[in-house]
Structure 1
Amino acid sequence: MEITQLVFQHVTLPTEVDLLVDVLEQNLLWMQRVTDPQYDLEEVRKTQVERLSLVNKYCLNHTSPGGYHKRADWLYFLTFRDVSWGLIPKTGSTNILRMVCIMIGPKCTKITGYPDEHHYVPDLMELTTDLDSFSPWYSNWPTRKFLYTFVRDPWQRLVSTYIEKVLFSDLYIKLCKFGNNINFVNFNKKLKEENKTLTYSQFLKYCVIEQYEKRGAIAMEPHYRPQSISGAFCDLSYSFIGKTETYVVDINVILQQYNVKDVPAIIAKAKQFRRPNEKKNMTLSSYLDRWKSVDQETIMKLQKIYSVDIEMFGYPEEPY
């Protein structure tokens, strides 16, 4: 199977409050498929109403998120068992991908690299016929009954990206060079000559902010591109928006949509493939120190870049 590059068309959004309520009710039909008694379904429903309402209200008032006048020109969707998942990097997607592979079986789990922590979505989609991707140019997207994604606090997401891509690998070079970022290339060459590591502040300045100021949010590298753009939230009607901050509850609801009969078992099996989560522990333990090293001018620029994420998903306006 070939990867389909998804190009999103603008969808006319509801303009009346009662129509907005109807949209929310339609998006919450998945509640009928949640049968696990250990979850307070009313609380889960309330949380989803709040999340979906924030997104829909923002989209009603902004014909183009953040004034960007564009959408990201691609987004991977893994569709299995009539459930479609939009992958946004650095939101816990690797672990969900493991679970999908476990559901599919050996022909998925035996793909080279599994269960390595690095992403291999293109290979997975090319080799596994159980998965589909769709483009609105060729199909009536979205066609699946249940469409979901996960988002994350943008301040936490930046720290996590820095730790994983800079401190644990040299993958940041590819990320920061994204879009022919010459200023980073020259600066990184100087760092290498001095045998120094890119600091968190430098990562924000020469990678994140540089890409935004040179080419706009739409052209930023996906690992730190605003999620509001990557997920095309004003173009697609999501049934469920999970958050990494409430992952334990959200993933249980998601797995039931896949008709998983033994949810605890598949979660436990996925954990067996995980290495000690040093990066997560470092993100949590060093979070405040990372941000205290950043000057206020940089934080203000980041507030502008991620203003839509902050408003659309109800995240804090400052990192601490």
Structure 2
Amino acid sequence: MDADPGRPAVTWREMLTYFPHRVLGNHVHALPDHGIVYVKNPKAGCSTVLLWLDRLHTGEHDFSPGNVHTDNRLPKVPDVGRRRIARMISGDAYRFSFVRDPLRRFQSAYLDKIVSSKRWRTQIQTALGQEPDPERAVSLDEFVTGIERQDPIGEMDPHWRPQHVNLMMPLVSYDHIGRIETFDADLEIIRKAADLPPVPIEVRNVAKKSTDSILADRPDLEERVRAIYAQDFEIFGY
């Protein structure tokens, strides 16, 4: 997506409205020396992109931490400054992110954050009016109902809230929004457009590909999920 030169400058305060209960600096990564800014969209290649950015920033191409989200060496907000980041995301830098097929992203969020992990279950249980208990499983039906009852900005977790909300749209415009389905080609477009040097890519947190869908036998649930992410389908062309 092309930037709109006629748009007014984005402020830090305006960006905060999209992350009222989270640290904004954990979602926006600016590299002033390279003239780029990346906005995270969880469940859409974040770990892979963050490691790529770390290697780009440090020049250490063999760096491979266990958790790149906590152990990266990318510049922090105090290092860059809120005003400078705001100017960069307003158009003084090349702005990019990645998105994913909404149904596949929903499935990944459920299997990874709800089925395989206990940490996020209480968010859905609270939305359902249940007593929070991370030891208690959350069914697929409950997950869909819980999301339906959550406010996208104030209550939904970034791992399953609509992608256009994570990307702070329409407040923020982008020079390129790539797709996970064409990740290598899109990252090369970004690299060339931003005039960045080649950096080795290490794909992170990618489960074994499967053509099976957890919604395959539940057209009723799929219809509801499509409604939740209707704007993502429209905006990103899925």
**TM-score interval, smaller chain:** 0.7 to 0.9
**Residue number among 21, 26, 30 corresponding to 1:79 in the alignment:** 30
Report the counterpart of residue 44 of structure 2 in structure 1: 91
Quote the offset at 1:231 in angstroms.
Answer: 1.1
Superposed, 1:78-227 pairs within 5 Å as: 78-80=29-31, 81-105=34-58, 115-117=65-67, 119-120=69-70, 125-126=75-76, 129=79, 132=80, 134=82, 139=87, 141-173=89-121, 175-176=123-124, 181=126, 183=128, 185-186=130-131, 189=133, 192=135, 197-206=137-146, 208-211=147-150, 216-219=151-154, 220-227=156-163
- Provide the C-alpha distance between the structure 1 equivalents of 2:183 and 2:93, rounded to a whole number of angstroms: 22
| Structure 1 residues 78 and 91: CA distance shift in structure 2, 3 A | same
- Provide the C-alpha distance between the structure 1 equivalents of 2:68 and 2:198, rounded to a whole number of angstroms: 27
Give the conservation status (yes or no) of the 8 Å contact 1:201–1:294. Answer: no
- Provide the C-alpha distance between the structure 1 equivalents of 2:127 and 2:161, rounded to a whole number of angstroms: 19
The one-letter code sitting in structure 2 at the alignment partner of 1:294 is: R
Give the conservation status (yes or no) of the 8 Å contact 2:128–2:145. Answer: no
- Residue ranges of structure 2 left out of the alignment (5+ in a row): 5-16
| Structure 1 residues 231 and 182: CA distance shift in structure 2, 3 A | closer
Bigger helix fraction:
1
Alignment of 1:312 with 2:235, yes or no, is: yes
- Provide the C-alpha distance between the structure 2 equivalents of 1:247 and 1:139, rounded to a whole number of angstroms: 27
| Structure 1 residues 250 and 310: CA distance shift in structure 2, 3 A | same
The alignment's C-alpha RMSD in Å is 3.7
The one-letter code sitting in structure 1 at the alignment partner of 2:187 is: I
TM-score (norm 1): 0.57
Give the conservation status (yes or no) of the 8 Å contact 2:57–2:74. Answer: no
- Provide the C-alpha distance between the structure 2 equivalents of 1:133 and 1:152, rounded to a whole number of angstroms: 30
TM-score (norm 2): 0.73
Answer with 89-98 or 246-255: which moved more: 246-255
Superposed, 1:288-299 pairs within 5 Å as: 288=213, 290-294=214-218, 296=220, 298-299=221-222
Give the conservation status (yes or no) of the 8 Å contact 2:164–2:232. Answer: yes
